[in-house]
Structure 1
Amino acid sequence: MDWLLAARMQANCLARPVNEAGPGGVADVVRRTGGLQAQTWRGASYAVRARSTSTTISDVSWAQETDRSVVRGWFMRGTLQLVAAEDAGPLLGLLGPKLIKDSERRYGELGLTERIRAEAADVLEDWLLTHGPTGRTELADVLVRAGLIAEPKGQAVYALLRHTGLLGRLCYGPGHDRGETWVAVRDWLGKPLVLEGDLESLARRYLTAYGPATARDFATWSGLPVPAARGAIEAVATTSFEVEATALHAVEDLPGCRDVRLLGEFDAYLLGYQNRYQELPTSIFPGGGMLRPAVISAGRAIGTWRHADLSVELFEPADLTGELQDLARFGGG
C-alpha cells in the first residue's frame, strides 16, 4: 500500500512541482489539482504552499482578489473551493444542477421555494452589480427589504448566497473570514460564466491529480452520480492497478513522492477519495466535518500540527526542519 499513497501524493502535486512565484504560481497549483478545498481561506493558502516552492500567502490573496485568475466559490460536492477562473463555468455546468437538486430538502426546511430562490438570485446579482463587493450582513438586509426572508439571521441567508453561486452568478470577492464579501461574477470576471463542461475532461483531470483512484473516488470528490463517474473514468483511464481486489485507474504510472509535508486544514489530498487506504486518527479527523492540519510522509499521515504556534504532534519520527522554515517563508516571517 505504501506505493499507492506515495503515487497519490505525487499526483496531487505534493512533490511541489510549481516553482513560479506570484499569482501565476498560485493559479498553476489550482489548475494542476483541479481545485483546492477552501472552507477556510487559511487552509486553501497552505494547500498552495504545500504544492509550490516560491508562492507566498499574499500571492494567494492577490491571485483571487486582484489578478482574479482563481475563483473562490461552491464547486465540487457543493463545498467551498478555489478553482481556476477558466474552470468555474465548466465545473458549474457539470455539477451545479445536481448540487441544487441535492439541496432541495434543505431548501424546503428553510422555506426557500423555487420562486424565492430565483428572485433572490436576481436581487443579489443586481445589488452586487450596482454596489460592488458586499458582506453578508448587508446582503441579508437586502433580502429582508425585498421580502424574501423574514429576518437577517439564520441559515437561509447563506443558503441563498450559495444557491446563487451554484447558478454561476456570484462568488467570493475581497476579504477573508469576518471581512469576506461577495461579488457578481460577470462584473468580477468581466463576463458571465458559460455553464458548459465536458465530463470526460473532468475525469481525466481528476485521475491526473488523484490517481490511482476508483470511479467511486471520483464521484466522492466531485459530487457526481456513481454511474456517470464510472463511465467517464473508464473512458479516460490509460492504466489500472488492483488493490485489495479493487481496480484503481490512472492516466500515468508515477514513481511516487516520499517527502514530508505539512498540510493545512481540509487539504484536498485527504478529501479527494472515498477510500484513502489509511485510517486518520481523531487528532486529524475528529468527525463533524472537520479535518485538521496534518503531517504526511510518503502520502501517509504521521502527525498533526497547529498554525498558532507551529507545535507538532508526531506519531513517528520525521525531520520537519525544512517544512517549518518554508512555513515562515510563505507567511513572510
Structure 2
Amino acid sequence: MTWERVLAWRMRRQFVERPEAASAVDVARRLGGVQAQVASSAAFAVAVRRAEPEPGEVARALLDERTLVKTWAMRGTLHLLPADEAAAYLVLCGAARHWEKPGWQRAFGATPADLEAIAGAASRALAGGAVLTREELTRAVVEDTGSEHLREVLGSGWGILLKPLAWWGVLCHGPAQGSRVTFASPEGRLPGWKGLPPVDEAARTVVRAFLGAHGPATPDMFDAWLTRKANRKKDVRGWFAALGDELCTVEVDGVPMHLLAEHRDELLDAAPAAPVRLLGGFDQYVLGAGTGATYLIPAERRREVSRSAGWISPVVLHEGRVAGVWQPEDGDVTVTAWEDVPADLLDAERERVRALLP
C-alpha cells in the first residue's frame, strides 16, 4: 500500500475530491470535528466540502438547531463537534489528566482542588440554561467560592483553566455577544445531552471516527492528533485493541497500520486522485495527519504551512499532497506553488473558491 493510494482514499472520505457533504454536521461527523480557533476557517472548511454551500449554515447549526457545539477538544483547541457525539470526544481529550502533573500546576498556579472548586461554582452559575460571558463567569465563581486566589488564577489563565471544565462536561461555548465569548452548560444547551460516557465507550466512538477519516493510522498517530501524545501508550493501544475484528491491518510503505475493516476494500480499490483543491487554514485534512507528516507536506516546506503562533496556512493540494499555499486577497486567490500544478485545474478551483470567500 502506498501513501498515494491512502491520500486518494482520504480525499474521498473527507469530501475533498468530491464536495458532496449533506450538511455542516455531516462534515464535522466525517472529519472527527472541525477546528474552530478561527471561526471563518471553520465555516470555509464546511463550505468547501459542500456541493451547494449555504451562507450561515454553521451558525444555524450552532445557534438554532444546536446540532453542532463549539468547545475545547483535540489538542486543547476549539472545535466544532456533532452535538450527539461531543461527549465522547470530551472524555477522551481529558483522559491524560495533565492538570494533575506538577509541571502543569506550577505553570498555571492551580491545583486539582482549585479546578474542582471552579467546576462546582461554574456548574451552579450555568444551571438552568444560563449563558455567561467570561467576566460574568469569573465573577460568579469568585462570589460562590469567596476565593481571591481563584480570581487571580482565572484572571491570568482563564482559557487554560476552563479547558478541563469543558472536558468534564461542565461548560461549552454559547452564542457570542458581539466580540465577547460566552459559556453555557452542555446539559442546558444541547438537546439530548446524556452526560459523559465511560472512557472505553468514548474511545470506540473517537477511534472509529478518526480512522474513518484519517486512517490507516497507528495508535501513536491517533494520540498525536488527540493530545499531542499526552496519553500513556498502553492506554491508547488498549483502545485500539478493544475494537477487535472491527479493525484490520494494512501496510503503508512497509509500516503496519490500523484501518476499519469495513473500509479495507474501498481503500484497496482507491485509484490515485489527480484533482487540484484549495483547502483553508487549519483544515482537518492537514491537522489529522499533522504538519510533520512528510508523506503529505515536504519537510523543507513545513514552515510555510505551520507558521508562527500556531497558524496553519491554507494549502494547495495536488494528487493528495500539499503542493503550495494560498491566501485570499481582495476577493481573489493568491497562490504560491512549490510544485508544478496543472494550470487549468488550478484556475477552475480558484474560481470555485472565490465564490466561497467572505
**TM-score (normalizing by structure 1):** 0.86
Q: Distance in 2 between matches of 1:112 and 1:81?
A: 25
Partner of 2:237 in structure 1?
230
Distance 1:177 1:262, change over 3 A: farther
Partner of 2:213 in structure 1?
209
Q: Distance in 1 between matches of 2:83 and 2:70?
A: 9
TM-superposed CA distance for 1:199, in Å, is 2.4
Counterpart residue type for residue 268 of structure 1: Q
TM-superposed CA distance for 1:144, in Å, is 4.4
Conserved? CA contact 1:185–1:191, under 8 Å: no
Confirm whether residue 268 of structure 1 aligns to residue 268 of structure 2: no
Alignment of 1:168-183 (within 5 A): 168-175=169-176, 178-183=179-184
Distance 1:102 1:219, change over 3 A: farther
Distance 1:121 1:306, change over 3 A: same
Selected match of 1:220 from 202, 224, 231? 224
TM-superposed CA distance for 1:256, in Å, is 4.8
Selected match of 2:327 from 301, 306, 310? 306
SS in structure 2 opposite 1:179? coil
Partner of 2:346 in structure 1?
320
Counterpart residue type for residue 153 of structure 1: G
Distance 1:221 1:50, change over 3 A: same
Q: Which runs of 5+ in 2 are unaligned?
A: none
TM-superposed CA distance for 1:308, in Å, is 4.6
Conserved? CA contact 1:185–1:193, under 8 Å: no
Partner of 2:152 in structure 1?
150
Partner of 1:48 in structure 2?
46
Distance 1:151 1:3, change over 3 A: closer
Deviations 1:130-180 (A, max 9, x none): 67332223333434444222376322x212322211111111111389333
Partner of 1:65 in structure 2?
63
SS in structure 2 opposite 1:302? strand
Q: Distance in 2 between matches of 1:325 and 1:102?
A: 50
Q: Percent identity?
A: 27
Alignment of 1:92-241 (within 5 A): 92-101=90-99, 105-129=103-127, 132-145=130-143, 146-147=146-147, 148-150=150-152, 153-155=155-157, 157-175=158-176, 178-190=179-191, 192-196=193-197, 197-223=201-227, 224-233=231-240, 235=244, 236-241=246-251
Conserved? CA contact 1:5–1:300, under 8 Å: yes
Q: Distance in 2 between matches of 1:66 and 1:215?
A: 37
Partner of 2:252 in structure 1?
242
Deviations 1:186-211 (A, max 9, x none): 11114554211342343222211112
Q: Which runs of 5+ in 1 are unaligned?
A: none
TM-superposed CA distance for 1:122, in Å, is 2.2
RMSD between superposed Cα atoms in Å: 2.7
Distance 1:152 1:242, change over 3 A: closer
TM-superposed CA distance for 1:213, in Å, is 2.0
Q: Distance in 2 between matches of 1:99 and 1:82?
A: 22
TM-superposed CA distance for 1:29, in Å, is 1.0
Distance 1:262 1:135, change over 3 A: farther
Conserved? CA contact 2:129–2:184, under 8 Å: no
Distance 1:72 1:125, change over 3 A: same
TM-superposed CA distance for 1:250, in Å, is 2.4
Q: Distance in 1 between matches of 2:18 and 2:177?
A: 25
Conserved? CA contact 1:50–1:261, under 8 Å: no
**TM-score (normalizing by structure 2):** 0.80
SS in structure 1 opposite 2:336? strand
| More divergent stretch after superposition (291-300 vs 88-97) | 88-97
Partner of 1:295 in structure 2?
316
TM-superposed CA distance for 1:217, in Å, is 1.2
